[in-house]
Amino acid sequence: VFDLADDDLDQYVPANELPKHLGKEVKVMGYFIVQKAVNTIRNEIMYFNTFIDAAGDWLDTILFPPAARFTPINGRGFYSMQGKVVEEFGVVSVEVSWCKKVGLKQRDAVAKTLTKVEI
């Protein structure tokens, strides 16, 4: 299904390689699965999101209030994200500093990719 994403998948770190990048900034791409909103002690909203990456692995992300205000997750679809890889309680996540929704390729481009035939 990631063949449908209108972006170059080679520029993204797969979820299974995130432990190698602890403390570093990375770019990841995922298909949105679920979001949990939480209020901070200052009554600001932050989000814990779960995605699936191109290999089918789970990708957990955190959007703290500053990032949540400027880079919202707007429903189903592919998202390109950048952030710092962190580990807490044995779970590796990406603290997202920015994200954007990635569009879908045009039908003829997808057909060419999947069939390797000129249309």
Contact 113, 52 (CB under 8 A): no
CA distance 78 to 89: 27
Q: Answer whether residue 4 shows pLDDT above 70.
A: yes
Q: Which residue has the higher pLDDT, 14 or 116?
A: 14
Question: Does the predicted model carry a pTM greater than 0.85?
Answer: no
Confidence of residue 10 (pLDDT cuts 50, 70, 90): confident
Question: Measuring CA to CA, how many Å separate 36 from each of 9, 12, 46, 47?
Answer: 26, 24, 8, 6
Token pair 């998948």 in the structure block, residue: 9
pLDDT in tens, 60-94: 999 999 998 888 788 888 999 999 999 999 999 99
